[in-house]
Amino acid sequence: MNHEAMLYEKKKDGLVLCQLCPHHCLLKPEQYGLCKVRQNIDGVLYSHVYGQIIAAHVDPIEKKPLHHFLPGTRAYSIATRGCNFQCGFCQNWQISQASSANSMMRSSASVSPEQIVREALKSKSASIAYTYTEPTIYFEYAYDTACLAQKAGLANIFVTNGFMSGLALEKMAPYLDAANVDLKSYNPDFYKKICKGALEPVLDTIRMMKQLKIWIEITTLLVPGQNDGTPELTKIAEFIADTGREIPWHISRFHPDYTFTDSEPTPLESMYQAREIGQRAGLKYIYLGNIPERADTHCPNCSAMVVERSQFSGEARFTIPGQCPSCQTIIEGVWIWPKQA
């Protein structure tokens, strides 16, 4: 099913300029963008993934990961195929790197935005998460779904690489409540060589989300020998601190996958070192992921337990939403959804 794209400009000689992400693909007739799912057909830019669901699951919101946004609730999580990055360590490469001409296309199901919202409500989810692959690539589908979700009292969440245009973020912002943004590295060459993207637009997205009052959490996957050096981690931590010390930083452990099968899993020592670097930078909330360690939230003032999380079930317990029960320090986040109060 083809669906005309929102953010593009028609050019001479049947060319179209996609304005969805910083690649700004200038496409000849019949040509696909770098995302492999958007195509110039007779001078009109179309999305081949509108409504074409490749994954739909009900997840604990902590799996996004989001630890300061509606803890303990469920997120109805959806994805189509496609991505505007080509990360060699991608954990979901089977669907993120699939093209519209790929045989996997037959395994997708056509699901309308109305159906997605109905299923989210039926599952007792508090939010819809656009995740697993890059939601920017199925922007029109996510946008139409988010508009309906907001009317139904559901929150909307992007789990994103952050490589989106300012135009796209501005259009989505009125309906976007939270995001987890992958900050994969602070090295432009890493983004260029390994992700086939760029660093600065990701930093711009994070800053802009902060200005637009979208709740942000940041994830960095530590890949041994690639982005786990002390100088680079210090730059990441200092950037987050400069943007907002209250922004949670999720440091995630790498496991070999896709084209990085010869790499070793991230040593636990590297995970702990990254946490210390974040603490020295003044970050209030740091969480380690993909390791057997609890992800409880503690008060940055007195270290008292604020949110207790089950390691496996995703359940979360807290006594006073957004406040330390011991010293009454305000704990930044979104703890109760207005439509649920």
pLDDT tens profile 136-170: 999 999 999 999 999 999 999 999 999 999 999 99
Query: What is the DSSP-derived secondary structure letter of residue 69?
Result: B
- The answer to whether residues 84 and 71 touch, using CB atoms and an 8 Å cutoff, is no
Query: Which one is predicted more confidently, 332 or 310?
Result: 332
What residue ranges do the domains of the chain occupy?
3-47, 52-340
Neighbours of 119 (CB within 10 A): 16
Segment among 59-73, 103-117, 261-275, 313-327 with least mean pLDDT: 103-117
The whole-number pLDDT of residue 15 equals 97
Task: Compute the average pLDDT of residues 280-293.
Answer: 94
Residue 163 phi, psi (nearest 5): -90, 75
Instruction: Quickly name the fold that domain 52-340 has.
Output: TIM Barrel (3.20.20)
Residue 117 phi, psi (nearest 5): -65, -40
